[in-house]
A and B are shown apart, each in its own frame.
Chain A
Amino acid sequence: MAQLEEVTVDLYKHLVSERALTGETMLLNMGPQHPSTHGVLRLLLELDGEVVVNCIPDVGFLHTGIEKNMEAKTYQKAEVMTDRLDYMNTMGNNLAYVMAVEKLVDLDVPPRAQALRVILVELQRIASHLVWLGTSGLDLAAMSMFLYCFREREQILDIFELVSGQRMMTTYIRPGGVWRDVPVEFEKAVRDFIKIFPKRIDEYERLLTKNPLFIDRMVDIGYLSKETALSYGVTGPTLRASGVDWDLRKTRPYMGYEQYDFDVPVLTEGDTYARYLVRIEELRQTLRIVEQALNKLPMGPVRSDNRKYVPPPRSEIGLSMEALIHHFKLWTEGFLAPNASVYSAVESPRGELGVLLEGDGGPKPRRVHMRTPSFDNLAVLPELVKGHLVADLVAILASIDIVLGDIDR
């Protein structure tokens, strides 16, 4: 049996305090296999007893080369990669990428497709927040929360399966619209969810919000000041819990968000409990958006009729020579995008999800870069955990809601 090499403090001495070198504090390796690092995140902790002195996040264990891979694919085919990015927010990733493509080639989206996109992305936001709520409950050992949240998430995934045939890797939102129109059962399924969900939120809140142990674990833990948050580029609910009213759906509306009436919850306390409250309130507001969008869901086409970029409907292919040619060209060569660079961003459940897309005149992007919220939010973690206990670290990590697929790309 090969002798394992001892990992010594010397390897990390530029990262930890001097006390670690004398052995006064302990270095603890948390992850990449650890139940509460939400994936393959490795945290190198310097502990004084159980108090965290230093926390060094080590990312990259889930690096899959998504961005690079997308450069080798046509614009439509590269979209499949975005699903794998932040696997809790597949619809949102599709939307962010597709919006960038549409901006690059100047495509219009019909209103029905816009409304459908809003409904699905907001449902995805609920699903993502449910996973966050469940797992952060689980991290505090409130284990039933997890299963209650997944019960509702299941309903949303069923809706996704209804519209796209897939539960998670949907690729439903396509350049110029959506894949195809939703089936008739869609409206009833969403209405059922809208009806049942407010009661379920109350149920979650009854279990957690005023639970003394929960408050004890959450309040005044992991304080993030407004200035720190802004300087680290933190976005999303984590930023809004620190008192910055910044939600791209309000500040830079896209996909017709300006027509919906919803509030952006903002709290100023900046601790773990505030982040929890913001997300819980977002669940309610998101549901309002879904309801409004569903109520005024317009009829009409769900795909742009710009045949240079959007494949024609199946029915046309048998009748029209142009349609057949377009279909063939779009699925073999792809469409050509101008030599330009665009950036478009959406508000993902975790914050600003931006896509930088650079065309080179050909059918494949020259460069795709994702500005993923989890990555920037994770960067602020060491600031939050200093001086807290290991148990708090787990709560804080859960409260900034990272997805490792989003970080490592």
Chain B
Amino acid sequence: MTDWTIWVEWVVKGFILCMILLTGFAYLTLYERRALARIQVRVGPNRAGPQGLLQPIADAVKLIFKEELTPGKVYKVVFLLAPVLTVVPSLVLAAVIPLGDKFMLFGREITLYVADLNVGVLYLMSIASIAVYGIVLAGWSSNNKYAMLGGIRSSAQMISYELSLGLCFVIAIILGNSMNLNEIVDAQRDMWFAVIQPAGALVFMVVTLAEVNRAPFDMPEAEQELTAGYHAEYSGMKFALFFMAEYQKMIVICMIAATLFFGGYREFWFLKDTFFSVDSVWTIGSWQFKAWFLGPIYMLLKVIVLLFFMIWIRATWPRIRYDRLMAFGWKVLLPLCLVLAFITAVGILLFDLLGNPMLIWGVPVLSMLCILVVVAFIYRDLRRKSHGRV
């Protein structure tokens, strides 16, 4: 195999991945608006094209042609750099996520991920953290008090929630016995990690909401308090870049959630030896082929379902207050994640030592108990705080 074809493969795959994320972002905005509208007894955008399918294009055209204002007293270099710093990590984040099984094309094996990193999970952690720079710098360079408050909020929020996020990653690493995302997906062939560690998956979803600044943790932009937070001074395409980053991060984080806890591109674990499996071989006439293309489809379905939960939460829940958000992160989620990681590790260790499969099932039971205890404590706290009015 010649060396340059590898480069071609990387470039093509990277390009396709970027395209997927960009279109995904555009249609996620439409999806969100339509889903929100349905929840809120509205119709939503349905004028541009059938079912409003051309709405994202109309939005993009509008944003491109909008005047870009640069306020007088901003720190220009940083002001221009911040949107880029935000959007790039959200794009490169997806590089290690396997979107499907490998297959043969033109006599060479094509893998459906851009990079196969041994420490894929670490890569996710580190890149996800970089994105906060863009937000902080945008808030700071705007020379606007609202934007600055938004930037400060987001840095504090992201730093404290990244710890819990990391511990959720640890759970998946322990269960999958690897930091490589492909191996984590393969380890879920027999059982999704969301079944073994449902509490972990739940906490992961909560933490990711905070990580991508989604409601009810959308502190940095908190429209009602900080008008638009860190991007208050941005307009036109620069604003669109922030918007893009947020929605791409939503998609990617849902991909990560699917990969770590919901079997990645794999089918439901109980379908593993059936026709619907990614590993199955389909026969049409005399033509036999591996059903690798089911992988991306499953991934897409999982992402859509997970995204719906994010939208649903946004439609229903009030925003948490900033100080309570920090308290929730440090006093509730972090200890909870530690306990969950501990339970998982002990469960796996005991299973390895004693070989009793019942031990594995102790993990979900104990973890769910932990969650229930936490919820009970939160409710007790609320009841006490509300002087018995609830």
Contacts and interface: CB of A to CB of B under 8 A. Distances in A.
Interface of A: 4, 26, 28, 34-36, 50, 137-144, 147-148, 151, 207-217, 219-220, 269, 273, 277, 389-394
A50 B149 contact: yes
Contacts of A137: 318
Interface in B129-156: 145-146, 149
B314 to A, nearest CB: 8
B379 interface: yes
B215 interface: yes
A217 to B, nearest CB: 6
A34 B324 CA distance: 24
A269 B42 CA distance: 37
Contacts of B385: 215-216, 219-220
Contact of B320 (A28, A213, A390): A213
B156 to A, nearest CB: 11
B78 interface: no
Given A28-B145, A147-B41, A151-B41, A213 B317 contact: yes
Contact of A391 (B315, B316, B321, B390): B321
Nearest to B387: A269
Contacts of A391: 222, 225, 319, 321-322
Contact of B223 (A35, A214, A390): A35
B39 A215 contact: no
Interface in B212-230: 215-216, 218, 222-227
A28 B232 CA distance: 15
A156 to B, nearest CB: 16
Contacts of B387: 219, 269
A34 B216 CA distance: 20
Interface of B: 36, 39-42, 72, 145-146, 149, 215-216, 218, 222-227, 314-324, 378-379, 382, 385-387, 389-390
B195 to A, nearest CB: 27
B215 A141 contact: yes
A26 B145 contact: yes
A213 B217 CA distance: 11
Given A143-B40, A213-B319, 11 more contacts: A26-B145, A35-B223, A210-B390, A215-B385, A215-B386, A216-B385, A217-B318, A219-B382, A219-B386, A277-B389, A393-B225
Contacts of B382: 212, 215-216, 219
B225 A144 contact: no
Contacts of A4: 72
Interface centre among B225, B321, B385, B390, by most chain A C-beta atoms within 10 angstroms, is: B225
A35 B224 contact: yes
A144 B40 contact: yes
A238 B222 CA distance: 26
12 contacts: A26-B145, A28-B145, A50-B322, A141-B222, A141-B317, A142-B316, A144-B40, A210-B390, A215-B382, A390-B149, A391-B225, A394-B224
A211 B39 CA distance: 18
B40 A147 contact: yes
Contact of B318 (A28, A36, A140, A392): A140
Contacts of B222: 141, 391
A173 to B, nearest CB: 32
Given A144-B39, A215-B386, A392 B321 contact: yes
Given A144-B40, A148-B40, A391-B222, A217 B321 contact: yes
Given A35-B227, A143-B40, A212 B379 contact: yes
Contacts of B320: 213, 216-217
A208 B224 CA distance: 18
A95 to B, nearest CB: 32
A389 B390 contact: no
Nearest to A214: B318
A141 B223 contact: yes
Contact of A148 (B41, B145, B149): B41
Given A141-B223, A211-B317, A213-B216, A273 B40 contact: no
Contacts of A216: 320-321, 324, 382, 385
B386 A394 contact: no
Given A50-B149, A212-B382, A141 B389 contact: no
A351 B119 CA distance: 64
Nearest to A4: B72
A277 B387 CA distance: 14
A383 to B, nearest CB: 20
A269 B215 contact: no
A223 to B, nearest CB: 12
A137 B385 CA distance: 21
B315 A143 contact: yes
Contacts of B146: 28
Contacts of A148: 40-41
A214 B226 CA distance: 19
Contacts of B227: 34-35
Contacts of A273: 386, 389
Contacts of B42: 147
